[in-house]
Chains A and B, each alone.
Chain A
Amino acid sequence: MGRYVARRLLQMIPVFIGTTLIIFLMVHILPGDPIRAMWGDKAADPAQVAALRADFGLDQPLWKQYVDYMWGLLQGDFGKTFGGREVADEMSEAFPVTLRLTMVALIIEIIIGIGLGAWAGLKAGKAVDTGVLIFTLVVISIPVFVLGYLARFVLADELGWVAPNVQDSTDYAQLFLPGFVLAMLSMAYVARLTRTTFAENLRADYMRTAMAKGLPRRRIVGVHLLRNSLIPVVTFLGTDVGGFIGGAVITEGIFNVQGVGNLLFKALQGREGSTIVGVVTVFVLIILLINLVVDLLYAVLDPRIRYA
């Protein structure tokens, strides 16, 4: 177990270097000159441009830039934006917001997704089951931004039940609607996955044994069925957390949440290389760590799985 974790952590190093390099190269391949773009349509003084370029190290060869960046990263320095702010500061403001949004989305996904799925799975083939399947199919078919704008338009603008923009990201009541929109798609998948595993495990031999033991129905479903059915669902939920953090770009845009998605979007527009690479690097780290946690959790949930 300890060896397994150590090996997995070591494996992260090449993945980490590889992803940062790819992102770094991609940002620099983009056409246009971010320094020159600061002047917009006005004529720029070439001396000033050159000075700024030297300031940000953009006059160096690409490999040197990468090595410098990585060296800085190892010392905890994510670099500066063109506006002169520390990228680390920007991220430490944005990440907690997105994490809170992710938490809200995850809780909604777990409660509604697993709840709906379990209900449908226990009544497989009945009207409830068909209803849930149709509902989830509709949700899956609608793109997130359509759903998001629709929710905002109806619930906030027309009915006025919630504020259209998130003013205070520490207020979980305000995060509910964006969290819900963010969770919708995954929730539909979780519901379907839960439904399938429930319906399948319901016919398992050990369920018949549990019945023959004279256990109350609550216990048969709540202990014997649930423990077995949640194994694939938990795995899915785990990988989903990474998806939420990365996928919040659209939702954060719709509801004006000042999170990582927003930061990344603005950075892309401004060609802020160090911000983009910094944010994506942290994404990569989070996803790698979550995958490790999910894999370890898998062994906890299913004793048949052993790591060596």
Chain B
Amino acid sequence: MTIIEETSSVPTPRSGDSDTTPLLEVRDLHVEFHTRDGVAKAVNGVNYSVSSGETLAVLGESGSGKSVTAQAIMGILDMPPGSIPQGQILYRGQDMLTMSYEERRKIRGRKIAMIFQDALSSLNPVLSVGYQLGEMYRVHEGLSRKAAKAKAIELMERVNIPAAKARVNDYPHQFSGGMRQRIMIAMALALEPDLIIADEPTTALDVTVQAQVMDLLADLQREFNMGLILITHDLGVVADVADKIAVMYAGRIVETAPVHELYKRPAHPYTRGLLDSIPRLDQKGQELYAIKGLPPNLLKIPAGCAFNPRCPKAQDICRTDVPVLDPVTEQDGTELPGRGSACHFWKETIHG
């Protein structure tokens, strides 16, 4: 009996599961931080899912809860002060929040890996990159120091670091910014995980290097058929690589859409504001649009729709009722798959 139960819980091979259960599903996730000034509600009921080979871009301002959601998935939130009062994070159908520390640890790095924003501070300054890359193999696969180093060189070659063999014993500060980010990517990629979470992987880089790094990430994702959650506030980066987008505001998803649909016809005033604030060549010389005001204080999120104080279209209902993420349809009622908007007036926004 027990044997049968055990086999059923073994993850199915990567190719066979794409249609039924998504790789990762976040359900109604809430994250709070208990601070001296009160409870900061960083994430307030986020739902999203990623399948193998799919790229989900999570978009939002600083403090919108996109990184906190990612950290909750990885299990690297500082708890306390953080806590997860409610919600589920399902990895291949299993809730990671109910797993033991050891079970989660074995998923981290091996099944779900993360790429951090600032590679210089995210890599350990006193350990060589070869050591830090090899550590993945030594800890998760029990390889010897020497074998791990050989693997590390291979990895560095795979992410196109020139003279990998000569540089394997160098330290993070001896690499350029782009190379360092490649090392971060290599580290995440080491054990060929099912899912990679990239938290603003290109923010600290200059534009040409940004493109290289994003291309590399996209290539590798395709090669290994990994799921990718791309956290960013850069709309330009998203357009090229993402399949679908979730826009976050004040710890909630305010709009979801397939990538090109979102650019064409945003269904939430916040998304519209974001798109309007991209500098455009054909509007050279005109004043650039900016969303007025500041992101809300997470200690006291405005009643109703959190965006209402900054929204140009806010009505009375927006100040009292929290809008739910409704499916978005065409004017004639035909469904638009994957689209949703948490705005009382999404119809006017998309069709008006």
Contact = CB atoms under 8 A, between A and B. Distances in A.
A213 B125 contact: no
A144 interface: no
Contact of A214 (B108, B126, B171): B108
B121 A214 contact: no
Nearest to A210: B124
B106 A209 contact: no
B187 interface: yes
A186 to B, nearest CB: 24
A197 to B, nearest CB: 13
Given A213-B136, A231-B126, A303-B171, A205 B109 contact: no
A214 B111 CA distance: 10
Contacts of B113: 212-213
Nearest to B114: A212
Given A205-B118, A208-B116, A209-B116, A215 B139 contact: yes
Contacts of A59: none
B126 A302 contact: yes
Nearest to B124: A206
Interface string B159-201: 0000000000001010000000000000100000000000000
A268 interface: no
Interface in B71-102: 74-76
Contacts of A208: 76, 116, 122
Contacts of B123: 206, 209
Contact of A212 (B74, B124, B127): B74
B319 interface: no
B127 A227 contact: yes
B124 A209 contact: yes
Nearest to A204: B121
B140 interface: yes
B105 interface: yes
A228 B76 contact: no
A214 B124 contact: no
A212 B139 CA distance: 13
A209 B122 contact: yes
B102 to A, nearest CB: 9
Contacts of B118: 205
B107 interface: yes
Chain B interface size band reads: 20 to 34
A213 B139 contact: yes
Interface residues of A, number: 22
A219 B139 contact: yes
B196 to A, nearest CB: 11
B116 A213 contact: no
A3 interface: no
A215 B190 CA distance: 14
Contacts of B106: 214
A123 interface: no
Contacts of A206: 121-125
Interface string B112-145: 0110101001111111100000011001100000
B110 interface: yes
Contact of B108 (A204, A212, A219, A223): A212
A211 B78 CA distance: 11
Given A205-B118, A208-B76, A214 B107 contact: yes
Given A205-B121, A208-B122, A212-B114, A224 B127 contact: yes
Interface in A82-121: none
A302 B171 CA distance: 10
Contacts of A204: 121
A39 to B, nearest CB: 64
A291 B242 CA distance: 56
B126 A216 contact: no
Contact of A216 (B75, B105, B124): B105
B244 to A, nearest CB: 24
Interface string A246-279: 0000000000000000000000000000000000
B30 to A, nearest CB: 21
Contacts of A209: 116, 122-124, 187
Contacts of A219: 135, 139
A304 interface: yes
28 contacts: A205-B121, A205-B122, A208-B76, A208-B116, A209-B122, A211-B75, A212-B76, A212-B108, A212-B109, A212-B114, A214-B105, A214-B110, A214-B140, A215-B105, A215-B109, A215-B139, A216-B105, A223-B127, A227-B127, A228-B124, A228-B126, A231-B126, A302-B126, A303-B171, A303-B173, A304-B125, A304-B126, A304-B173
Interface of A: 204-206, 208-216, 219, 223-224, 227-228, 231, 301-304
Given A208-B122, A209-B122, A228-B125, 18 more contacts: A209-B124, A209-B187, A212-B76, A212-B108, A212-B109, A212-B113, A213-B113, A213-B139, A214-B140, A215-B105, A215-B109, A224-B124, A227-B124, A228-B126, A231-B126, A302-B126, A303-B128, A303-B173
Closest 7 interchain pairs by CB? A214-B109, A214-B108, A205-B121, A206-B124, A213-B109, A303-B171, A212-B114
